[in-house]
């Protein structure tokens, strides 16, 4: 299991870097990846990192929902 978590961590970080490069750091795909990466850190019991990742993901989602509302 530890190897799977390490592999997931590595792959999510690579995906995150690529997504930020391609679509910017405020894109919903980045928010999804940050959220998924947070679950990896839950498995590692690194709650400080989990908190940071989930807050960043939530901020992107909130900003995107505010800007996507059309009246």
| Per-residue pLDDT tens digits for 10-54 | 999 999 999 999 999 999 999 999 999 999 999 999 999 999 999
Q: What are the residue boundaries of the structural domains of the chain, listed by start?
A: 2-68
**Burial class of residue 70, CB neighbours in 10 A (0-12, 13-18, 19+):** exposed
> Phi and psi dihedrals of 18, rounded to 5?
-65, -45
Report pLDDT for 11.
96
pLDDT at 69 over 60: no
């Amino acid at each position: 299991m530890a190897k799977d978590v390490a592999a997931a961590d590595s792959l999510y970080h690579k995906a995150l870097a690529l997504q930020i490069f391609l679509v910017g750091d405020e894109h919903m795909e980045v928010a999804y990846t940050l959220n998924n990466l947070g679950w990896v850190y839950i498995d590692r019991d690194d709650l400080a990192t989990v908190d940071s990742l989930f807050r960043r993901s939530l901020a992107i989602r909130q900003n995107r929902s505010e800007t996507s509302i059309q009246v």
